[in-house]
Structure 1
C-alpha cells in the first residue's frame, strides 16, 4: 500500500512548478506579491493531489488535470486569505498573514485575484466544452457551499448545535472543495457523470472523516505533534461531535452536565479543568463515538470507489482516506 504522506510530498513537489507559474509580473507589483504569498509557500496540497489522482484513477492523462489542480489550490488559498482577515490571525505557515504584510484592502483584493485566476485557468482546460461546464458546476457550487459553511460556522460560534448541524457545517467548510477537486479531476480524465458523482461522494466522506479526526486531535492529540495545546478547543467551547454526543449522553445527569458546560468555553480554564472535561467526554463514550464515526466515513469513502479499476492512483485514494484519520498518532 502506498504511503499517503510520502506520496503527497512527491505530488506536492511535482505541482510546485505549475502552482508558481500562473501569476505573472503584472502591475501593481504589491498585489502580485500578495497573491503569490500563500500558494507559493507550499502546504500539504491535498486538494490538487486529489484532482490529479482522480484523473488518473479513471484512466485519464494526469497532466491534463494539473491546471485544474492549480485552480483548486488557488481557490483554497483565496479562502485562507479571507479566513485570516475574519479571524484576525497574524501568522500562517510560519509567516505573517497577508493582511498584516500588505494591509486589509490589498489582502481582500489578493483573495479576489486568486479566485478570478482560478476560474480563468479552468476555462482554458483542454477538455470538451460539456466536461468543462460540468467541472465548473462542481467548483462553483463548492465555493458557494463553502461560503455557506463559513457563515454557519460564524453563526454557531459559542453555541451548542445539534450533531446534524455540526456535520452539515463541516461538510460545507471542509469537504466540498475536496470533492470538487476529485470530481473535476475525474471529469478531466474522461469519466462519465455517474462516475464523477461517485468520486465526489468519496471525497465528501474523506473530508468529513478528516475534520472529525482533526477535532479528535484537538482534544486527544499529542501537543508535541499537533503543535497546539489540547486545551484550546475546550477553552474556546468548540462544538464538535464529541461535545454534542457528551451533552446528549448526559441529559439525565444534570450535575455532571452542568459541570461539563461550566468548563466548556471557559477561556481561563486550568489544565486540571480541561482534563476533567476530557474525562467526562471519555466516560460518556464520546471520544470513541467520534473515532467510530470518522472510521465509518472513511470506510464508506473506500467502498464508494471500489468499482474503479486497480491502479496506483486508486491505491493513493484509498491510502489518503486512511491517512485522513491516522495523522499525528
Structure 2
C-alpha cells in the first residue's frame, strides 16, 4: 500500500533529524534548526512518489528523498546568508539567530551530511550508483544559477530580459525542484530517465519559481518568508523585469536607483512605493499567466507518460504534487 503524503513527510522528518543527531547539543541544534521547522517537504515527496511510481522500493525512495531534503536545507542556509534574508519558514533566518560564521558552517555541515547519506545508501546496496551522479548535477546546476542571480544583483545589472530570467531559474531552482525528482524516480528503479523529464520538468520548475516570486509580493502568513523580501534583496524576478520594460521613464529611473542600493540602504518608504507599483501594474498578472502557460504545457506532456508507470497509485500522488507546484497547494 502506498503511504499517504503525511506519512511520507513524517518518515522524511524522522530520517532527517535522526541523521543529524550529534553528541554536542549546541551543534545539533544548529544542524537541525531548518529541518525541524518542517516545511512542505515538496521535493522529498516528489522523489518518494516518483520512485514508487517507477517501481523502486519505499526504502530507496525515502533514502533519496531525505538526501534531496538535506540539499534543500543547506542551500537555503547559504542562500539566506548570501541574500541577507531576514526570515525562513516563518522564523528568523539562521544567520539572524546565530553568528553568521556558525550559520555558514552549519550549511557546510549539512552539505557534507547529504553526501554521507548518499554514500551510506550506496554502500548498503539501497541506492544505485547513478543516483550519486544525479546529485552532482543538482549541486552544479543550482550553484551556477545562484551565481547568475547573485552576479546580476552585485553588478547592478538591470538590462535583463525574460529569457535571462528563464535561463537563470532553469539552473537555480527548476532543476532540483522538478527535474531531479523525476529523474531520480527512474534511476532508483534502475531505468534510464526519458528526455521528457528534463524538458517538462524545467517548465514546471520555472513556473513554480515564478509563483514563488508572486507570493513574495502577494503572500500571507503561510508564505513563510519575508514579504517583499525580493525587493530588499534586489532580486531580478520575472515580475520586476516585466515592470521595468513597461514602466514610464521616470518610474523606471526611480526604481532602478532603489534597486542599485544595498539592502541596508534601501529606504522602507521607497521599497513600499515599488511594491505598490508592481502590484498595481500588469506585471504580476502577466507573470502568473506565464507560469500557467508553462505548467499546462509541461503537464500535457507528462501526464500521459505518468499514467503508464507501473506504480499507479504512487503515480497519481506524483501527478497531484506536480499539478500543485504552480497552484502552490503542495
TM-score with structure 1 setting the length: 0.80
RMSD of aligned Cα (Å): 3.1
Alignment counterpart, residue 20 of structure 2, candidates 10, 20, 23: 23
C-alpha offsets along residues 216-252 of structure 1, whole Å, 9 cap, x if unaligned? Answer: 2334x254664778765556654222333344456xx
Aligned to 2:261: none
Aligned to 1:182: 182
Measured in 1, the distance between the counterparts of 2:49 and 2:78 equals 28
Measured in 2, the distance between the counterparts of 1:229 and 1:32 equals 26
Alignment partner of 1:307 is 2:318: no
Contact 1:68 1:122 in 2 (8 A): yes
Unaligned runs of 5+ in 2: 259-266
Measured in 2, the distance between the counterparts of 1:249 and 1:277 equals 11
Aligned to 1:326: 327
Alignment counterpart, residue 294 of structure 1, candidates 274, 291, 295: 291
Structure 2 CA distance for partners of 1:208 and 1:273, relative to 1, 3 Å: closer
Unaligned runs of 5+ in 1: 1-6, 251-255
Alignment partner of 1:205 is 2:235: no
TM-fit CA distance, 1:46: 0.6
Contact 2:43 2:69 in 1 (8 A): yes
Alignment partner of 1:144 is 2:140: yes
Structure 2 CA distance for partners of 1:201 and 1:270, relative to 1, 3 Å: closer
Measured in 2, the distance between the counterparts of 1:144 and 1:66 equals 23
TM-fit CA distance, 1:52: 0.3
Structure 2 CA distance for partners of 1:23 and 1:175, relative to 1, 3 Å: same
TM-fit CA distance, 1:75: 1.2
Structure 2 CA distance for partners of 1:80 and 1:225, relative to 1, 3 Å: closer
TM-fit CA distance, 1:135: 1.5
Matches within 5 A, 1:175-324: 175-178=174-177, 179-190=179-190, 192-195=191-194, 197-219=195-217, 221=218, 223=220, 226=223, 233=230, 237-249=234-246, 256-263=248-255, 266=258, 267=267, 268-269=269-270, 274-279=275-280, 281-282=281-282, 286-305=283-302, 306-308=304-306, 309=308, 311-324=312-325
Report the number of matched residues.
308
Q: What SS class does the counterpart of residue 42 from structure 1 fall into? A: coil
Aligned to 1:4: none
Aligned to 1:3: none
TM-fit CA distance, 1:14: 3.2
Aligned to 2:162: 163
Q: What SS class does the counterpart of residue 22 from structure 2 fall into? A: coil
Contact 1:235 1:263 in 2 (8 A): no
Alignment counterpart, residue 58 of structure 2, candidates 59, 62, 70: 62
Aligned to 1:78: 74
- State which drifts further: 267-276 or 165-174: 267-276
TM-score with structure 2 setting the length: 0.80
Contact 2:77 2:103 in 1 (8 A): yes
Contact 1:89 1:97 in 2 (8 A): yes
Q: What SS class does the counterpart of residue 136 from structure 2 fall into? A: helix
TM-fit CA distance, 1:110: 1.9
